[in-house]
């Protein structure tokens, strides 16, 4: 069918170009890069010629210096300036020579000739001593520049660049022509298809128009489109259920690999630390560790590492510095998940507890300040939370007969006479505090040794909406007053009895 080798070669190339994208690229490379490479090799001539020009200039410089050093021997010895001047002028005819200086004995200037002003390139300098019969009688300095050789070299390079530019233009035209037909058009179609997929368009089909590698890839992508569409539908339903659950959790849900990548963190993390969930999921656990306060970073790392090694849950409270430079308190609860190969990941929740911590620290600061004051007052003062004693002043411990810090942490039932009195007092006191009203009464209490005392007690809630969260109780010892009142009551009773007895005897004496 093919009569000549040229026709057979042409048919083979056409088949290679039409059925294989590798063959098409091979032809593009051969047609677009090999030919330009041949012409581009001429650029090396510029490098070679630059080196050659430098070598030639240096040889001329050394030669001129040698000529002047030899030619000046007789003229300088005889102080024949006219002969020396002729020799120097002959050297100055070279346009590359800028300056010739001949120095005599004592470095006295003998001759100095300088070329007229002109563009100067790189300067080269050569020096020779003028020696006659083994004695130095003078010195020759020759300066030359490469401005002229550089100009000639630039002209040649411009010619080479022009030829290369024309060659590259032809080569680029060939490359664009081949690539646009066999590669760029199919790739653009695949890119448009990829853009549609990235925007969630799984309904538009992808049609193949060739049987080469890109055509087969197109068919596979069409199958992938259908599979991804179904997969995304299933994932969307699961993700919706998952997000519904996560948004109801107070705090940020997370999963990370120990000392590795952060697989997931919910969007609530941004409200806690100011950085988005996407920023954390693109990094490792070191990104979160960098936010932890430097004073607590090492302790946090040790606690988490120990919990991971023991595969047990952990709960930590620590400070972080958020994206705005604000210090926050967070609570982290994590649960390492293990398999036969070891710990695979850690699941948990991070919550912002700054408000709670600030309240606690404010209360503790107030208590510290108040304790310094209350330790010196004459009344017993007790701070109570959930009917347990948080702190008392010194007078309160003396009042109830306890030593230093012995009452702290115990139930307030220790100061009541019976458990019934304890329960009955709570039912009466805390509803009054919840109304924002201070509670006050006179009541009998029990000391540590079992003895009883009378006290005037007054209570006030720190927050009337939550009276159990904190209240202050002040006790004033009124035992002496109560005993005095009792004595007065008993004395009055005796006087009344004696008065009635005298009246009875008086009536009896008069027969009444």
For range 217-232, the mean pLDDT: 76
Burial class (CB in 10 A: 0-12, 13-18, 19+), 512: exposed
pLDDT, residue 179, reads 66
pTM, entire model? 0.37
**Residue 71 above 60 pLDDT?**
yes
Q: What CA–CA distance (Å, rounded) separates 91 from 142?
A: 10
Please list, residue by residue across 178-195, b when 16 or more beta carbons sit within 10 angstroms of its beta carbon and e when fewer do: bbeebbeebeebeeebee
**Residue 93 above 50 pLDDT?**
yes
Coil, strand or helix at 476: strand
Banded model confidence at residue 17, pLDDT cuts 50, 70, 90:
low
Banded model confidence at residue 42, pLDDT cuts 50, 70, 90:
low
For range 396-413, the mean pLDDT: 93
Higher pLDDT, 319 or 511: 319
Write the CB contacts of 462 (distance below 8 Å, at least 6 apart in sequence).
363, 469, 470, 471, 472
For range 242-259, the mean pLDDT: 78
Banded model confidence at residue 493, pLDDT cuts 50, 70, 90:
low
For range 298-309, the mean pLDDT: 92
**Residue 19 above 60 pLDDT?**
no
**Residue 367 above 80 pLDDT?**
no
For range 124-151, the mean pLDDT: 84
Note the helical H segments in 79-124.
Answer: 81-92
**Residue 25 above 60 pLDDT?**
yes
Higher pLDDT, 182 or 322: 322
Q: What CA–CA distance (Å, rounded) separates 72 from 132?
A: 10
For range 47-63, the mean pLDDT: 80
Banded model confidence at residue 5, pLDDT cuts 50, 70, 90:
low
Higher pLDDT, 439 or 512: 439
Banded model confidence at residue 1, pLDDT cuts 50, 70, 90:
very low
pLDDT, residue 421, reads 94
Higher pLDDT, 385 or 357: 385
**Residue 174 above 70 pLDDT?**
yes
Q: Kindly report which listed range (248-262, 297-311, 402-416) carries the lowest average pLDDT score.
A: 248-262
Banded model confidence at residue 100, pLDDT cuts 50, 70, 90:
confident
For range 32-56, the mean pLDDT: 68
List strand residue ranges (DSSP E) for 58-117, in order: 97-103, 109-114
Question: Of the ranges 230-234, 266-270, 381-385, which is most confident?
Answer: 381-385
**Residue 52 above 70 pLDDT?**
yes
pLDDT, residue 356, reads 87
Q: Kindly report which listed range (27-31, 64-68, 187-191) carries the lowest average pLDDT score.
A: 27-31
* Percentage of residues of the chain with pLDDT beyond 90: 30
Banded model confidence at residue 216, pLDDT cuts 50, 70, 90:
confident
pLDDT, residue 226, reads 77
Please choose, from the candidates 293, 243, 305, the residue with its C-alpha nearest in 3D space to the C-alpha of residue 268.
Answer: 243
**Residue 127 above 70 pLDDT?**
yes
pLDDT, residue 193, reads 75
pLDDT, residue 2, reads 47
Q: What CA–CA distance (Å, rounded) separates 236 from 1?
A: 60
Please choose, from the candidates 42, 6, 334, the residue with its C-alpha nearest in 3D space to the C-alpha of residue 165.
Answer: 42
Higher pLDDT, 166 or 63: 63
Q: What average pLDDT is seen over the chain?
A: 81
Write the CB contacts of 171 (distance below 8 Å, at least 6 apart in sequence).
31, 32, 33, 35, 36
pLDDT, residue 494, reads 67
**Residue 409 above 90 pLDDT?**
yes
């Amino acid at each position: 069918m093919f009569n000549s080798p040229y026709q057979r070669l042409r048919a083979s190339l056409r088949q290679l170009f039409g059925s294989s994208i590798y063959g098409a690229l091979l032809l593009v490379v051969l047609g677009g890069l090999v030919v330009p490479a041949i012409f581009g090799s001429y650029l090396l001539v510029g490098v070679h010629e630059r080196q050659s020009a430098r070598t030639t200039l240096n040889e001329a410089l050394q030669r001129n210096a040698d000529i002047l050093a030899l030619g000046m021997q007789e003229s300088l010895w005889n102080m024949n300036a006219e002969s020396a001047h002729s020799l120097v002028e002959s050297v100055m005819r070279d346009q590359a020579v800028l300056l010739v200086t001949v120095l005599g004995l004592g470095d006295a200037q003998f001759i100095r000739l300088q070329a007229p002003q002109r563009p100067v390139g790189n300067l080269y300098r050569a020096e020779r001593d003028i020696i006659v019969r083994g004695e130095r009688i003078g010195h020759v300095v020759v300066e030359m520049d490469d401005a002229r050789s550089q100009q000639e070299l630039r002209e040649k390079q411009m010619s080479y660049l022009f030829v290369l530019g024309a060659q590259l233009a032809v080569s680029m035209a060939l490359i664009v022509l081949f690539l646009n037909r066999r590669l760029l058009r199919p790739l653009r179609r695949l890119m448009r298809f990829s853009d549609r997929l990235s925007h969630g368009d799984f309904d538009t089909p992808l049609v193949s128009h060739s049987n080469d590698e890109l055509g087969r890839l197109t068919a596979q992508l069409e199958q992938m489109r259908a599979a991804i569409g179904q997969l995304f539908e299933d994932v969307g339903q699961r993700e919706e259920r998952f997000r519904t659950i996560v948004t109801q959790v107070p705090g940020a849900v997370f999963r990370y690999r120990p000392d590795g990548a952060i697989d997931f963190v919910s969007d609530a993390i941004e409200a806690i630390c100011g950085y988005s969930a996407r920023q954390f999921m693109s990094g490792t656990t070191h990104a979160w560790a960098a936010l932890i306060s430097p004073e607590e970073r090492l302790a946090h790392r040790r606690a988490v590492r120990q919990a991971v090694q023991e595969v047990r849950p952990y709960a930590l409270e620590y400070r972080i510095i958020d994206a705005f430079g604000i210090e926050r308190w967070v609570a982290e609860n994590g649960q390492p998940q293990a398999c036969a190969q070891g710990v695979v990941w850690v699941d948990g929740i991070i919550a912002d507890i700054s408000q709670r911590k600030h309240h606690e620290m404010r209360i503790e600061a107030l208590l510290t300040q108040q304790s310094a004051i209350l330790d010196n007052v004459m009344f017993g003062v007790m701070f109570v939370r959930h009917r347990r004693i948080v702190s008392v002043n010194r007078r309160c411990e003396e009042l109830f007969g306890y030593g230093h810090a012995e009452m702290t942490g115990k139930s307030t039932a220790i100061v009541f006479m019976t458990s019934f009195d304890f329960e009955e007092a709570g039912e009466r006191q805390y509803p009054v505090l919840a109304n924002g009203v201070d509670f006050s009464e006179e009541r009998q209490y029990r000391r540590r040794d079992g003895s009883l005392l009378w006290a005037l007690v007054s209570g006030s809630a720190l927050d009337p909406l939550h009276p159990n969260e904190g209240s202050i109780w002040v006790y004033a010892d009124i035992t002496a007053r109560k005993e005095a009142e009792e004595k007065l009551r008993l004395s009055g009773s005796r006087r009344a009895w004696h008065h009635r007895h005298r009246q009875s005897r008086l009536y009896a004496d008069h027969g009444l």
